[in-house]
Chains A and B, each alone.
Chain A
Amino acid sequence: MSEFVFATAQYESGDWDSAPLVPANLIDSIARYTSIPVAPTGAVVPLASSDALRFPFLFLTGHLPVRFSEQERGTIRKYLDRGGFLFIDDHNHDIDGAFHKTVTEEIVRAGGPLVRVPKRHALYSSFFQFPDGPPNTSHELNGWGDNLLHPELSAVLRGDRIALLYSNKDYSSEWSYHPENKRFSSVDNTRFGVNIVVYALTR
């Protein structure tokens, strides 16, 4: 079995590389909690290239408005239809922000309608248990954050499988730190990332 490579999607518009430490952090978490063979470094793959189809999991984030090119849309469509899992996270976590509005439009155009992921979905129990749905980030919580809570994630389905997971909870900010710094946390906040990857690789 070939090892899992954490791939970050590079797209033309916006800032695709706004969370440079997320890949390493999740790679560390996958190794730390699971026995999934995983490559020690991630890969960056242009979304306009068919190389994206070689990776079972793609991570996409950014702050700025997103407008996919026709090639990028075509790759996404093929990627979702052929069993890939695309995780898109809004690095702003605001309400109706530029990234959110544009990327959701693009998601619908490229992949199909977004539906809410119920809190009892298998995504929340694929490895760690999250009975209350997606964990909140420190940017959302009152006191630390701005109290803008996004209680649910959205998804594009292929059959009963989540093919594209969309979050505007700003996990990109939450997880973009060096994995060595995990030792300072009482609770590892990347555990939900493990769930996402495990779900992507097993469904």
Chain B
Amino acid sequence: MTTMERVLSTRRQLTLVAIARSLVLGVSAGLLVMVVVTMARIMRGSDGGALGWSLAIMASLVTGLSEFRRLRGPGFSVPRVSLWIEEHAPALQYALVTAVEGGGPAELDRSVAAVDWSPATRRAARRALAWPVLGLMGCAALLLVSDAVAPVVSRIAGDTRGTPRGVAGELDVALRVTPPAYARRDVAVLRNPSVVRALVGSEVRVTSPANAIIALEADRGGVPRTSGPASWRVGAQPVALRVRSGDASRLVTIDPLPDSAPVVVLREPTRDTVLADPSGTFTLGADARDDLGLRAASFEYIVSSGSGESFTFASGAIGARAFGGTATGSIAGRLSLGALGLKPGDFVHVRAVATDLRDDTASARGASETRTIRIARAGELDSVAIEAAAPPEADKAILSQRMLINLTEALVRRRPRIDRATLSAESGRIGRDQARLRKQVSDIVFSRLGDDPSGEHFHGDGHQHEGQELRPALTPDELLKAAENATVAAAGAVLDFEGDETPVVAVNRPLLEAYNFMWEAGRELEQSAPERALPPMYRALDAIQRARAAERLYLRSRPPRAVVDVERVRLQGKDRGSPAAREPRAPATGAARAALARFARVVGLAAADPAAAADSLLLLRIDLLGAITPDAAAAAAAAADALRRGRDAGPGLAAFRNALGSGVQVADSLSRWSGIR
């Protein structure tokens, strides 16, 4: 074997070692990330499996590639490998590079051939791989034991990180909640939960301890078991479950979350209609939304013909659209009356329907209200009032400058998420409202100051004049001068002053400023630049506020700061009140009294046996779940968690107690202050 062949062989070995070291380090990094994610997942009680895998793969790739790049440097070239061999085999006396490059004396080749550097190569390979392989084994071991270690870490960190810490005698459990597939929701892993809120149809499975079984704590209405001993299928009724393993157990309550049917709103047609002629086209529009996601929506129509006891029906669907799981959606369509072949006296019933992702029961289907279109009979044309469908109701109210600012700010916030056409439409709409408000201001100002009491020529409805620039007729200074001439100066007397301005100016200057700022804001809004419209809108609002103060000062004087002399007027009124006797509060019903008594026992147990108190509270909560507000139910769950963790359960208990009602009880005996002992 020549010297060059030996060097090339060493180069292959070194390349393989570099690849192996990079691989081992990459896998180690991935395993380490998995260990951390597993611990965090168990401590936080969430799933995060997909995220963990993604992070682990990313860490592996980054670490492995970085290491390989570091080892490879500029490349595994022959001179570089030769230099590496010279460095690790001193017996070569730095002759290898010269021998490889060729052109050296024959003695040089012989001296190089006499040196065996393979032991040095093996030593280097062992050194390069030993620690990474040990690290890989350590990470793998850590990952294997992390599930066992996590509860300990969780317990240690429980107080500071909010992880439930089991009280003595209670079983540490981990539950995996798998929602039904159609919901497309993540699996959740919960550690020691008091309450599990899960969609109906979810599976709750005990993942730790391995030998745990689930049983109903108390059979409330014969809830059937639909799965194995370590799992529970969530039904429509809330249940209390006891998870047992050996002598230890834990009470877990299940709050079922029903899947709501889609909510559908028919936008068009807006109301029922009677038509003289069965022709024309109706525009249909509807919006739908669902808590989990929409599958599809369409319009349904039914044509009913006939009279007396003889009717025929025909139905159909139009405008169908699939949504594939989006939370909201809209559908549109056109209903041609001519195509339906209607006759006088026929009815067309139209509604919109939508299905959610479940799509297997009637409750998964939502429908809007139905609109009826009737074709008038020939004989009733003279007496029937034919009303066409009304256009959608427009908001005719003048919006305040504050409201316009709110709308514009909201539009600016939404701008990154909407397309240009929507931005232009909404900005233009706000701009037209701004123009209407400006018209109101101009009516006030111009009718006082100008010759034309009707104020400016209004362009807020969108019409324009060819070749004419859109601007106010007079500048502010011109208008103020007109004001002076028209009022104070013309009258030859000054009525009142605010600062160094006449009242007329004090009133009208801020209004004119507001007017001009509104022009500026309206222009920006018309150009679909709501963020540029905001500064003048703020200034317009400020000017209006100043005008209001000035207005009061000028016209009616500022409202006095009324401080009531309470002592002087006390009981000096002309009338005397005669309040009716207050009715006593209704005594608590038997069920309410029983609930209050159970609650009292919970409170009594809280200090001595918090675990028992938490269990009792959860059972009470399950029994009252339909009668109390969601907030109260959440408060009870929080109180149970707090009891189990040894924290202050007071706020949760107080909120739950308030939800139980007044609890006034009728005493059979006389009260203590009645004088009878």
Q: Is A110 an interface residue (CB 8 A)?
A: no
Given contacts A32-B572, A128-B577, contact A41 B559 (CB under 8 A): no
Q: Which residues of A contact B573 (CB under 8 A)?
A: 29, 32-33, 188
Interface residues on B, range: 20 to 34
Instruction: Write the chain A residue with the least CB distance to B401.
Output: A64
Chain A interface: which of B416-424, B447-455, B578-586, B642-650?
A: B578-586
Q: Is A54 an interface residue (CB 8 A)?
A: no
On whether the beta carbons of B564 and A41 are closer than 8 Å, the reply is: yes
Interface majority SS (helix, strand, loop, mixed), chain A: loop
On whether the beta carbons of B566 and A40 are closer than 8 Å, the reply is: yes
Q: Is B98 an interface residue (CB 8 A)?
A: no
Interface code B368-411, partner A: CB below 8 Å = 1, 0 otherwise? 00000000000000000000000000000111101100100000
- How close is A129's CB to chain B, nearest CB, in angstroms? 6
Q: Which residues of A contact B400 (CB under 8 A)?
A: 13-15, 64-65
Query: Contact check: which of B403, B577, B583, B631 meets A14 at CB < 8 Å?
Result: B403
Q: Which residues of B contact A114 (CB under 8 A)?
A: none
On whether the beta carbons of A28 and B569 are closer than 8 Å, the reply is: yes
On whether the beta carbons of A27 and B564 are closer than 8 Å, the reply is: yes
Interface code B582-612, partner A: CB below 8 Å = 1, 0 otherwise? 1101100000000000000000000000000
On whether the beta carbons of A20 and B406 are closer than 8 Å, the reply is: no
Interface code A23-47, partner B: CB below 8 Å = 1, 0 otherwise? 1110111011111001011000000
- How close is B652's CB to chain A, nearest CB, in angstroms? 15
On whether the beta carbons of B399 and A128 are closer than 8 Å, the reply is: no
CA distance A65 to B580 in the complex (A): 37
Residues in A138-186 with C-beta less than 8 Å from chain B: 159-160, 178-179
Q: Is A202 an interface residue (CB 8 A)?
A: yes
Q: Which residues of A contact B662 (CB under 8 A)?
A: 159
Q: Is B563 an interface residue (CB 8 A)?
A: yes
On whether the beta carbons of A178 and B560 are closer than 8 Å, the reply is: yes
Query: Contact check: which of B402, B570, B580 meets A125 at CB < 8 Å?
Result: B580
Q: Is B490 an interface residue (CB 8 A)?
A: no
Interface code A76-92, partner B: CB below 8 Å = 1, 0 otherwise? 00000100000000000
- How close is A136's CB to chain B, nearest CB, in angstroms? 18
Q: Which residues of B contact A128 (CB under 8 A)?
A: 575, 577-579
Given contacts A15-B400, A31-B569, A65-B400, contact A178 B562 (CB under 8 A): yes
Query: Contact check: which of A38, A40, A65, A202 meets B403 at CB < 8 Å?
Result: A65
On whether the beta carbons of A32 and B570 are closer than 8 Å, the reply is: yes
Chain B residues near A (Cβ < 8 Å): 397-400, 402-403, 406, 559-566, 569-580, 582-583, 585-586, 631, 661-662
Q: A31-B564, A32-B570, A32-B573 are in contact. List 17 more A-B contacts (CB 8 A).
A: A31-B566, A32-B571, A33-B573, A33-B576, A35-B570, A40-B564, A41-B563, A41-B564, A65-B399, A65-B403, A67-B406, A98-B397, A127-B578, A129-B578, A159-B661, A179-B562, A194-B577
14 A-B contact pairs sorted by A residue (CB < 8 Å): A21-B559, A32-B569, A32-B573, A35-B571, A41-B562, A41-B563, A65-B397, A67-B403, A125-B580, A127-B579, A128-B579, A129-B578, A179-B562, A187-B575
